[in-house]
Every structure is written in C-alpha cells, then in structure tokens.
Chains A and B, each alone.
Chain A
C-alpha cells in the first residue's frame, strides 16, 4: 500500500511535550466546536448545509502543526476543522455560521465557504474537487515569487474521482510545485462507499500515475499524520515537488447534519466511536507516557467549551447584515460604477 512510508522519520519523538499536548488541544477544540455547532443547528440557530469534521480531527491537527502561518491550505465542504487548526478565529467562524455581519464572509458564505486569508486558509469549497487547482496555483505563485511556502490541498475520497484531481496532480508534478495533496479518506462520499466508487484500494495508489510519492497512513493516529506531514512538507519546501498523502479515517457523523444515514449500520459507527476515536486513542497515549493526566484533559475540554461559548456569544451579538449588503463585495470597485480605469 504505502510507498516510501519506511523512510519517514519519527520526528514526533523530537518535539516538546508541550507541542505534543498542543496536538490534543487542537483536536479537542475542533471536536468541541463541532459538537456545539450540531446542537445549535438542531436548535435552529444555524441554517444552511453543515458538514461536521467529528472523527477526523487528527488529520487537521497533525498536518497543520507542520505549517507556518504564511503556508497555504485549501479546504473542503467539511472545513471547520481545517480552519481552526490553521489558526482561524472561532468567533468569526461562528458569526459566519450564524449568518452575521462579523462573520468571516460577512454572512455571504456560511459553513461551506469559510476562509481566512490572513492565516493562509484559502477557503472551504462547496464544489467537491474544487480546491486542487487553487492549491496548485498557490504553489505556482510561491514558485514565481520565489518563496519557500507550501500549499496543502485537503480533499476527500469522493473528490479523488474528479477530473480536476488528474489535471492538478499532473501539472503540480511536471512543474515540481510545492503542494501536498492530503486525502481524507473517510470511507464515504456522501452516501457512496469508497470501496464501491474507487478503482483502487488506496487513494495513495493513484500517486504512481503522477510519478510522485504516495503515502497512506492511519488518519486517526495523529502521530502518524504528523510524521508523514512533516516529511512531505519539508520535501515540498526543499523543492522536491508535490506528493499525495492519504489519511484513512472515518466520518462519525452523517454527511450533513440531519443525514438519515441509511447507507451504514449503527454497529459500524459505534466501532469507530470507542478506542479508534482519534481523541480517545491519543489521550490514552499521552497519559501512558505521563505527558498529561485526566485533570489536564478536563481542563483542556473546559477551556474549549469556554472558547466556543464565547464564540456563540460573539455571534449572537453581531447583527444580521441588511439585505442590501448583498450587493457589496462582488468586485473591488463599487457596484453600478465603472471599474476604475487606469489612466
């Protein structure tokens, strides 16, 4: 299955215990945000289509710990976790979900279109497979501007069947662009199992067609994600070109909030909720290594709950935009005026 996984060093061993705890903290912050979003949605405080990241937190946490603020990511319709891990502000995220003026997109985007360009988060994307080429362009831009930035493209197993996957990976490969294509294989494209819809057992196998490294790791193991990401990000920044990292995981919640989930059994979901849950398994690891105790974990959870409560408060205090604000932001120039001509 995985090519080259044997040459990935255990860089995780070298990081400080604080950094190790930080990974757990990121995962718990994402989980707490998402659990609250689900409740708020059911209480009709959040409208729209919302896709939760619960169960997949190790991937965002493990990758983003290897990125700097000026590195880029492109995200998916299931993007809250990516935004949080990249450093986005929960207040503005929650305000956006509430459709308020102080949201990241001033209420124009919602859950599927959160972006924060100030932290290199180039946007969630409602079109499955829409992010690949944006990441390729960010990598191309880094190469034209001669910087050492990397672009990481998050995408799902379903998106790996899009034609854009082929065009993006081929272009990134021939131009040796600093892009890591990070597949979150959560086993379902909406209702369709990846075992049915993919011609290969592992998305990483598709890397061979582009002559780039393809690595597959357990996406619920934050240490494995961290190590593989470290290797591939470093490689991209050294000018060695793009790569494909598959992180196998499981979407514990439905495709969207309210999904009747007729395509899978309760037993299957329960199987992934217990020991395999990335937060449970990593908490246990840290406790076994005596890097953290239950009290500290409880404290992290409380802090995360407080952060989310504050975000909800911020969102509720932010006004709804007025209807006419819908006419702003389409162009850099004012609506109904000629574009500023360069004279």
Chain B
C-alpha cells in the first residue's frame, strides 16, 4: 500500500466521485487559484472546469445554495474554508439543510456534503481554531463525521458524497500534511460505525479526529510505564455515533475516557458519557472522564494556547484517574 497525505487522500476521493457522477461539484472560498488553504483542492479546477468554483465570501449563500442544488438533482460539496464560519450560516445549517427532508414529509433527499477544516493550528486564535461539532450536534437531521487518517478521510468522504443525507465532514487542519497508508483500489469507510483502532482490556478511550493519534500515543506510553492495557475507539462518525461498539468495549474494560479537542462543557463527550451510563451503568467501575479544551475561546499566545488545548498528558491523567491510580 502506498503512503499519501490526508490532503491527497481527500483529493482522490473528490476526483473519483466527480469522474463517476457529473452532478457532483465543489465550491467554496479560495479553492480555484489557491487550491484550498491546505492544498486539498489542488489540480481539481484544471480537471473539472466550472464544477470547481470559487465562491464569494458568502457563507449563507454557499450552504443555502448547496441545499437548493441538492434538492434539484445535484450532489454538491460545499467547503466552509474554516469550520469556525459555520456560525455565519447558522440558519442554513439549523433550519434549512437539517430540516428540509423532515418538514416536507420525506418528499426529497438532501445529498450534500459540507467540508469544514477545524481544530487548533499555528496560533490561529479564537475564530480560526475551533472544533464546532457540538454546535451542530444538537440539531436533529445532520450527520457528522470526522476522519482521523488519510485512509479514513478518503473512505468517509466517498461515502459521504454518495449518501442521500446532509453530511458535515470535519477535517482537522493538523492532519492535512500527515502521510498514511491508503489502498490503491476503490474503498469506502462506512458512516455510522466506529473502529477499534487498538485493542485493550483495562480501560476504553472513545475519541475522534486528531485526538485519535494522541490517544494511541497516551495508550502506548501508559502500557510501557504502568503496564495498563488501553482500548482505543475511533468514532469516525460523531453523529449518529456507534454506541454498540462503545458499549461492547466498556462492558469488557469497565472504564471509559472520552477525548475530543472541542471544549468539554456541553460537548459531544457529555452525550457519549450519558448514553454509556444509561446503557451500561452497572458495568462501570469508575466515572466516565472527559478530556477536551478548557472552557474559554482558543487564545493566541503559544503558552496560552498550549494551556487550553488537550494533550497526550491530559489523556494519560484521565486514564489514570479512571483506573483509580491518581
């Protein structure tokens, strides 16, 4: 298997799907001349002409028109530039794309994908660093996914484009240049299923996106340092998350830590923890702990940013607490 970057993997997914289906097109801010701020669209404009478009800085028009196109026979992929800008198109997410199918009684499908680069990178500060899946999580009608590697990025994006429902595709900015093995042949990563990326028996970590690699690192370090066996679950789909895989693991390990980069308070981790205690309370030997950013906007200055963001050390600490070792 060859190694390619996360950015290249998403580009391959776009190319394959755009070749297959002429109704797939992509647009957003700064795609054509720049190839996307992380190069994730490079080469596509030359290949697909006006099916790859620069849009004006008009987030409501980007998301709203993606809905209009999806309702009328296309499969649009809209790029949010930065996930933080989801808020600009808040109504389009919350009241339009999420509700159209339902409130019209299922008359139509809404095959659209919104790509949203998220996460902390290079001191981008409060309005360019967020993980905002929690904003959207509370809206019935949206599917939310977050790949953690080049292979899952390609597989999830291809599945998302072929789905008949709105999918929000969060891609962590740190991941774009990272390389990983990606099969040469066509493949799809299922939406709605988590992957056990590391098996273990003492404690479970439920995580997604960039935090998967940090969780694996934490697990491996603790295995060496403390002889603790940690199971790591990569959710891949944040909503609807794969509760069955989580419960199966927790029923085995009896302990669980949830790790995401988004702010802990009111975050997706809280929902996962609640469902675990509702379904597997008597299997638990300790409280479910959450790891995430502290409850402030992401600050600019390196030591401030460093303090607020969740790190491998925070995950290790939560694991040890879960095991009553600290």
> Chain A: residues with CB nearer than 8 A to chain B?
72, 74, 103-109, 113, 115-117, 122-123, 125-127, 130, 132-142, 144-145, 149, 151, 163-164, 167-168, 170-171, 174-175, 328-333, 338-339, 341-343
Interface centre among B23, B95, B107, B162 (most CB of A within 10 A): B107
Partner of B51, one of A103, A116, A144, A151: A144
**B107 & A115 in contact (Cβ 8 Å cutoff):** yes
Q: What are the residues of chain B within 8 A of A125 when measuring CB–CB? A: 96
Complex contact B69–A168 (CB within 8 A): no
Bound complex: CA A135 to CA B66 (Å): 10
Query: How far is A74 from B67 in the complex, measured between Cα atoms in Å?
Result: 12
Are the CB atoms of B70 and A137 closer together than 8 Å? yes
Among A126, A127, A140, point to the contact of B68 (Cβ < 8 A). A140
Spot the interface stretch: B5-13, B72-80, B247-255, B296-304.
B72-80
Contacts A116-B107, A338-B190, A339-B143 aside, 17 further interface pairs with beta carbons under 8 A come to A107-B105, A108-B103, A108-B105, A115-B104, A115-B107, A133-B60, A133-B61, A133-B64, A136-B68, A140-B74, A141-B69, A144-B25, A145-B73, A167-B59, A171-B65, A331-B165, A339-B192
* Cross-chain contact A168 with B64 (CB below 8 angstroms): yes
Contacts of A141 in B (CB 8 A): 68-69, 72-74
Q: Say yes or no for B181: interface residue by CB 8 A criterion.
A: no
The 10 A-B pairs at the shortest CB distance, nearest first, are namely A137-B68, A133-B64, A341-B190, A338-B192, A329-B106, A137-B65, A105-B105, A167-B58, A167-B61, A134-B68
Are B96 and A329 touching (Cβ within 8 A)? no
- B: contact size bracket: 35 or more
CA separation between A151 and B64, bound complex, in Å?
14
Complex Cα–Cα for A333 and B190 (A): 14
CA distance A126 to B102 in the complex (A): 14
Residues of A within 8 A of B55 (CB): 171
Q: Sample 20 A-B pairs with CB under 8 A, ordered by A number.
A: A104-B105, A109-B104, A113-B104, A117-B108, A122-B72, A126-B95, A130-B91, A134-B67, A136-B64, A138-B72, A140-B65, A140-B69, A164-B64, A164-B91, A168-B65, A170-B61, A175-B53, A332-B101, A341-B193, A342-B159
Measured CB to CB, the nearest residue on chain A to B244 is A338
A171 touches B61 (CB 8 A): yes
B105 touches A133 (CB 8 A): no
Contacts of B56 in A (CB 8 A): 167, 170-171, 174
Q: How far is the CA of A168 from the CA of B100 in the complex (A)?
A: 19
B105 touches A109 (CB 8 A): yes
- B202 to chain A minimum Cβ distance, whole angstroms, is 28
A103-B105 contact given A137-B66, A144-B23, CB 8 Å threshold:
yes
Contact (Cβ within 8 A) B102 A329:
yes
Bound together, the chains give a CA A163 to CA B90 distance in angstroms of 12
Closest-CB distance, B232 to chain A (whole angstroms): 21
Within 8 A of A (CB), among B103-127: 103-109
State the CA gap A163–B57 with chains docked (Å): 12
- Taking a contact as CB atoms closer than 8 A, the residue among A174, A175, A332 that contacts B164 in the complex is A332
Bound CA–CA A133/B143 (angstroms): 21
What CA separation (Å) do A117 and B109 show in the bound complex?
11
Say if the beta carbon of B92 comes within 8 Å of chain A.
Answer: yes
Residues of A within 8 A of B109 (CB): 332
Flag whether B262 is at the interface (Cβ < 8 A): no
Distance in angstroms between the alpha carbons of A122 and B71 in the assembled complex = 8
> Assuming the A-B contacts A167-B56, A330-B140, A330-B141, are A132 and B64 also in contact, with contact meaning beta carbons closer than 8 angstroms in the complex?
yes
Nearest B residue to A321, CB-CB: B105
